[in-house]
Amino acid sequence: EDQVTQSPEALRLQEGESSSLNCSYTVSGLRGLFWYRQDPGKGPEFLFTLYSAGEEKEKERLKATLTKKESFLHITAPKPEDSATYLCAVIISGSARQLTFGSGTQLTVLP
């Protein structure tokens, strides 16, 4: 069965304390892996798409990487405004392009 698992479920960091969020996937074939940010009461905000193992994407303090089994979202020197739930999702090869989501990591960055 296709599965996307995110860890940890929750993470509390001090401002400036770098860390990584993990997304592991078990799918029949990967078309693409996506990272989103979701703030309370809002819709997911698109961050990155990764297609191939070894690929990396960066945006401000965030960097996403992809291997054949997992993806990492690295947060460098986070700020309180980075507090949000980070969602990982995949599109499975041969599917009709629907996203299969993990359950998310709730990140809190303390000042």
Partner 1 sequence: NAGVMQNPRHLVRRRGQEARLRCSPMKGHSHVYWYRQLPEEGLKFMVYLQKENIIDESGMPKERFSAEFPKEGPSILRIQQVVRGDSAAYFCASSPIVDEQFFGPGTRLTVL
From the CB of 101, what's the least distance to partner 1, in Å? 4
From the CB of 46, what's the least distance to partner 1, in Å? 6
Which positions touch partner 1 (CB under 8 A)? 31-32, 34, 36, 42-46, 49, 87, 89, 91, 95-104
When the beta carbons of 35 and 82 are compared against partner 1, the nearer one is 35
When the beta carbons of 19 and 100 are compared against partner 1, the nearer one is 100
From the CB of 42, what's the least distance to partner 1, in Å? 6
**62: helix, strand or coil:** strand
Region for residue 16 given its phi and psi (left: phi exceeds 0; alpha: psi -120 to 50; beta: otherwise): left
When the beta carbons of 43 and 54 are compared against partner 1, the nearer one is 43
Region for residue 81 given its phi and psi (left: phi exceeds 0; alpha: psi -120 to 50; beta: otherwise): alpha
Buried b (16+ CB within 10 A) or exposed e, 38-51: eeeeeebeebbebe
Among 31, 22, 25, CA closest to 1: 25
From the CB of 100, what's the least distance to partner 1, in Å? 7
